[in-house]
Structure 1
Amino acid sequence: MNELELQALLPFMVLAASSLVVILLIAFRLSHTVIQISGFMMMCLTVICMWLVRDTLPREIPPLLVIDGFAAFTTGLIVFVVLAVGLFSYIYFEEREENPKEYYILLFLATLGAAVLTVSKHFISLFIGLEILSISLYGLIGYLRNRNNAVEAGLKYLMLAALTSAFLLFGMALVYLETGSMDFAVIGRHVQSSGFSVLMILGIGILLVAVGFKLAFVPFHLWAADVYQGAPPPVTAFIATASKIGVFSVLLRFGQSLGLQNEQLLQGIFSFIAIASMIVGNLLALRQQNIKRLLAYSSIAHFGYLLVAFLPGNDNGETAALFYLLSYSVTLLCAFGIITIMSGTKQDAESVSFYQGLFWKQPILAVVLSVAMLSLAGIPLTAGFPAKFMVLASGVEDSRWIPVLVLVATSVIGLYYYLRVIGILFEKPEEETAATKVLHPFFYYATYTSLTVLMLAICWLGLFPGNVIDGIRQLLQLE
């Protein structure tokens, strides 16, 4: 490994070191506040390192990794998400019965796993990144072990993740048996010269099962609602954003390397999964009275929308997918930030009825949550509108008419349950909401400020998406 390759790896080395720093801080018995601030500084240092290495991109680190503009964007988005999740985690766990210090070790390890997925170009690095991510999530989901829902959610995710690993390894074995390589580029060249054999399609299909579990595509979605409900809100936010960004990034890279969209059978499979996810996700969300379960089923639909951008397999589809991931992540951080700040010491603010009349009690939080719901619904002047429009445009450009029509129809269905939540916020309150305990005013008000900034970012992305889209296209040219 030469100096330039080592320099390109610097942000990932800082991510790996962040968990070691937390371990040392715990060993010296430092406080939760010190650990929180140190973790925040490590994430900021990661961002600085990414900025410093930008001129060295793209950089291939054989045989496992490639750090290019695509990886820089997705890794940066993951780190941004973790900065917000870390802030939410402080005000949530500071008031809980569990010692929150070890939580940050798991959070930073999961971040490292998701980041490794974004730079993977080989089955080995894909498996390593996915396992680091999954094993960390077992502990994060069940961290509040005194709650039955948390333990149940952790066990469900553990069993399904083990099943996912088995499918992943078997699919890799079949592809390796056919091509003699586990490098995406080599496999792609084999496909170009020999086409998709039966064994290759079978191996990719089994790999798709593993990816489908991680992204909660239909029919691999049964774990999503229970895990979203049982996990602490900051962890749910991480699963819904950073975790899925990492997995979807490696799916995009793998699809582009092999040209999966050019095989008619695989194209049909992806189209079916996209259509089923959009329909089932929206229909299951219609009757939900638990906001975390509502967002879980909503996420199934949104990743169905993302598959519409994946189907063309071209630069426009890739740009649309990345912008959608950005808009979706910022929006969900707003929603789960509100859930976090509204949760009490004994119970999370899960029930939709808990938010009745919130505008008359805490208008800032109500406005932030309203904007987040409008963005998820794809209403103009919010980030969700240009994101969904770009996905639609990429599908229309490639003549994917059935998925596009289903996307439009299911988006109309989604309006009902998003607007229902907004309506509840502005109803007359029936009872007083429990006041949030303020132990450290600086972090409490920092959370209010961050939620306001995220809301403004949603509006800015909705009003002026052009600069961000141009930036994404420039980064994609560094491949």
Structure 2
Amino acid sequence: MNSNDFLHLMPLLILTFGAIINMLVISVWRNHKIIYVITALSMLAAFGSLLEQRTLGPHHIDPLFIIDGFAVFYMGIILLTALLISMLSYAYFEQREEQKEEYYLLLILSTLGACVLVLSKHFASLFLGLEILSVALYALIAYLRKRERSDEGGIKYLILAAFSSAFLLFGMALVYASAGTMEFAAIATAIASAGGLSLLMLTGFGMMIVGVGFKLGVVPFHMWTPDVYEGAPAPVTAFIATVSKGGMLGLLIRFFMEVDGFRYPALVLIFTIIAVASMFVGNLLALMQRNVKRILAYSSIAHMGYLLVAFLAGNEMGVQAITFYLVAYFITTVGAFGIVAMLSDKVRDAELLSDYKGLLWRRPWTATIFTAMLLSLAGIPLTGGFVGKFYILAAGVNTGLWLLVVTLIINSVIGLYYYIKIIAVMFQQPDAATEATARLRPAIYVASMGTLTILALLLVGIGIYPTALLNLIATVLDSYSTVAFR
């Protein structure tokens, strides 16, 4: 490696050094505020180093990594989202008795794993990033050890993630046996030379889809999602729903664009079935829930189905639609779980619908922000979620994916019901019991409200004026991206 390679890998190096510094400080002096500051500064510095790379152009670090416009943008939204989650985490863990410092170490490491995923162009770096992300998540999910559901969620995720990693590894082995290479671009060359997908290659891709589908939480690999979302601490749930899935989705886009997987009807059919099933299963099961975290869990399954509509478009417009929708979805999801975290107490998270009864009358601004987040998830106009969903529909119509387009529209109507159900509960009159349990410590309220207000303003901003973000996405992805569009 030369100095230019180190410069392009600076975000990863900064996160690595941040994790090392946290370990050293924890071994000497446990202080929640200092560890949080180190974590936040590490993520800010890593994001700042990305700004320098905008003018450097695509750079290959053979054989593992590629740093281009696509990777820089996705790393940017991953780092900013992780920073916002760390800010919400400080307020959340400040009122808890557990040792808090190791949480931030795990948060940095899992963010590092997600960044490695979006840089990968080789199976080795893919698996390395996936395991760094996953191993840290095992501990993050079960971090609140005194909660039974937290331990249960961590164990379930551990067991199922192990199975999915086994499928992914075996799939990689089959692809390697067929293509004789583990580099994405070389795999595409091998497929072209063979005149199409062999049975061995198709089987390998199918097993890899199992591993990827687990990380994305799409049907039929979604069974872990509601239990893990419910059991994990609220900020960790936000991290799983955004950073973890965003990193894997970025990798999936790059891999399938590189190997031109959309040329093969079998692969398109598999993803079409997954998309349709995810939209219907996610929304229909969400209708039956009365736990807010489980509602948002099933909602996330449906939203991954929405994103697969643009993914199956397989063109430049589809990638831009996915990217815009991810930005809106990240803002919305972090904001929604931020509300859950802010209203939680030492004993449990504020996850029941009854916890939100009369919230409008008790905490008007908090209820307003939560309403904006829910309306964005539902795709209501003047929010980022509406523009993102419209852009995904446009990508689907442009490519003639009529089945997926109709399915998306139907499911958007279904999803509106359970979002409105939460909003309706907030508009009810509070009872005495709710008033007694809804008191928040002033310091926690002030620490969280600033972050949530910024998120709400961003959400409405990109909903009213999406042009700036759309132009940024188009410029960054088009200027020096090496992702090949069909």
TM-score by length of 2: 0.97
Matched position secondary structure for 1:237: helix
Cα distance change on mapping 1:433 and 1:314 into 2, 3 Å: farther
Matched position secondary structure for 2:80: helix
Q: 1:293 maps to which residue?
A: 294
1:2 aligns with 2:5: no
Would the aligned equivalents of 2:121 and 2:183 in 1 still touch at CA under 8 Å? yes
| Most deviating of 94-103 and 428-437 | 428-437
Q: 1:427 maps to which residue?
A: 428
Between the aligned partners of 1:455 and 1:193, the Cα distance in structure 2 is 51
Between the aligned partners of 2:172 and 2:337, the Cα distance in structure 1 is 35
Offset at residue 43 of structure 1 (A): 1.1
Q: 1:112 maps to which residue?
A: 112
1:306 aligns with 2:303: no
Would the aligned equivalents of 1:233 and 1:339 in 2 still touch at CA under 8 Å? yes
**CA-to-aligned-CA distance 1:212-236 (integer Å, 9 cap, x gap):** 1111110110000000000000000
Matched position secondary structure for 1:55: coil
For 2:125, the aligned partner's letter is S
Would the aligned equivalents of 1:354 and 1:433 in 2 still touch at CA under 8 Å? no
For 1:364, the aligned partner's letter is W
Would the aligned equivalents of 1:282 and 1:414 in 2 still touch at CA under 8 Å? yes
Q: 2:360 maps to which residue?
A: 359
Would the aligned equivalents of 1:341 and 1:436 in 2 still touch at CA under 8 Å? no
Q: 1:464 maps to which residue?
A: 465
Within-5 A mapping of 1:43-442: 43-194=43-194, 195-431=196-432, 432=435, 434-438=437-441, 441=443
**CA-to-aligned-CA distance 1:116-149 (integer Å, 9 cap, x gap):** 0010000000000000000000000001111100
Cα distance change on mapping 1:433 and 1:354 into 2, 3 Å: farther
Would the aligned equivalents of 1:359 and 1:365 in 2 still touch at CA under 8 Å? yes
Matched position secondary structure for 2:55: helix
**CA-to-aligned-CA distance 1:336-377 (integer Å, 9 cap, x gap):** 000000001111101011101101000111000000000000
Matched position secondary structure for 2:437: coil
Cα distance change on mapping 1:99 and 1:397 into 2, 3 Å: same
Matched position secondary structure for 1:381: coil
Matched position secondary structure for 1:311: helix
Between the aligned partners of 2:218 and 2:463, the Cα distance in structure 1 is 27
Q: 1:39 maps to which residue?
A: 39
Unpaired runs of 5+ residues, structure 2, are 482-486
For 1:360, the aligned partner's letter is W
Between the aligned partners of 2:359 and 2:192, the Cα distance in structure 1 is 57
For 2:220, the aligned partner's letter is P
Between the aligned partners of 2:436 and 2:154, the Cα distance in structure 1 is 29
Cα distance change on mapping 1:436 and 1:111 into 2, 3 Å: farther
CA RMSD of superposed structures (Å): 1.1
TM-score by length of 1: 0.98
Between the aligned partners of 2:138 and 2:165, the Cα distance in structure 1 is 14
Would the aligned equivalents of 1:379 and 1:385 in 2 still touch at CA under 8 Å? yes
Between the aligned partners of 1:240 and 1:54, the Cα distance in structure 2 is 27
Matched position secondary structure for 1:344: coil
Q: 1:24 maps to which residue?
A: 24
Q: 2:13 maps to which residue?
A: 13
Offset at residue 193 of structure 1 (A): 2.8
Offset at residue 437 of structure 1 (A): 4.6
Between the aligned partners of 1:143 and 1:217, the Cα distance in structure 2 is 25
Aligned residues between the structures: 477
Would the aligned equivalents of 1:217 and 1:300 in 2 still touch at CA under 8 Å? yes
**CA-to-aligned-CA distance 1:289-327 (integer Å, 9 cap, x gap):** 000000000000000000000001110000000111110
Between the aligned partners of 1:468 and 1:2, the Cα distance in structure 2 is 34
Matched position secondary structure for 1:60: strand
| Most deviating of 43-52 and 341-350 | 43-52
Would the aligned equivalents of 1:4 and 1:56 in 2 still touch at CA under 8 Å? no
Would the aligned equivalents of 2:379 and 2:385 in 1 still touch at CA under 8 Å? yes
Offset at residue 87 of structure 1 (A): 1.0
Q: 2:477 maps to which residue?
A: 476
Matched position secondary structure for 2:428: coil
Report % sequence identity: 48
Would the aligned equivalents of 2:276 and 2:407 in 1 still touch at CA under 8 Å? yes
Q: 2:484 maps to which residue?
A: none
| Most deviating of 69-78 and 28-37 | 28-37
